[in-house]
Amino acid sequence: MTPARRDRIGPNAILQLLPVIDRQDGPEGTRRMLAAAGLAGTPDGTRMIPETEAAGLHRALRRLMPRQAAGMAAEAGRGTADYILAHRIPKPAQMLLKALPAPLSARLLARAIAGHAWTFAGTGEFRVVDPWTFEIRDNPLIRGETAATPLCAWNAAVFGHLYATLVDRTCRCVETDCAAASGSHICRFRIRRGQ
């Protein structure tokens, strides 16, 4: 896939979430979730999708299954990272990242994530603050929402699983600021090691 319209993101924002919903709530629950999101069907995985479709499904999940939503979104985020590892990052590059010292590996991985931010940030703006900290301004998956706690479990899980696999197995990602919870326009993600 190559950069396309800015209001499009990768289909894994939906495709990795649907099996999680199905395991948790069954096929009827999945159909109900798709209907609540206003989706007639699922992406075929061959092209970018409107960011509003992915946002609608994530929003429907948070509305219909509020207690389980964060864990389910995180599971889908790890599935998305696994897809990226299997299909988007060449094995030699993965071996190199794993062999390098963590600070250098983190720098290279952060650069690669920034280079492909169009696949998940859509009309939002992605920024690498440092190799361990990312920001998404106006994140399309939570745009316009308000919440008491951070909502971006899918994004955090994608970043965290990539770092844990390629940089240091003790890495995890925490959303330290969320536009939905803080009233700002920025969601901030911090990779932490050894905790």
**What are the tens digits of pLDDT across the range 107-134?**
999 999 999 999 999 999 999 999 999 9
Is residue 2, in this structure, part of any structural domain at all? Answer: no
Is residue 60, in this structure, part of any structural domain at all? Answer: yes
Number of domains in the chain: 1
The pTM of the full predicted model, rounded to 2 decimals, is: 0.95
Is residue 29, in this structure, part of any structural domain at all? Answer: yes
* Residue 6: per-residue pLDDT: 82
- Nearest to residue 54, comparing CAs of 112, 160, 134, 141? 141
Is residue 33, in this structure, part of any structural domain at all? Answer: yes
Distances (CA, A) of 125 to 81, 148, 171, 188: 20, 23, 24, 12
- Nearest to residue 143, comparing CAs of 153, 133, 152, 134? 152
**What are the tens digits of pLDDT across the range 14-23?**
999 999 999 9
Tokens representing 130 are 């440092």
**136 pLDDT tier (thresholds 50, 70, 90):** very high
Q: For residue 123, what are the domain limits?
A: 8-192
Give mean pLDDT, residues 33-62.
96
- As a whole number of Å, the end-to-end CA separation of the chain is 35
Is residue 96, in this structure, part of any structural domain at all? Answer: yes
Is residue 3, in this structure, part of any structural domain at all? Answer: no
Is residue 58, in this structure, part of any structural domain at all? Answer: yes
Q: What is the CATH number of the domain that holds 72?
A: 3.90.1520.10
Is residue 179, in this structure, part of any structural domain at all? Answer: yes
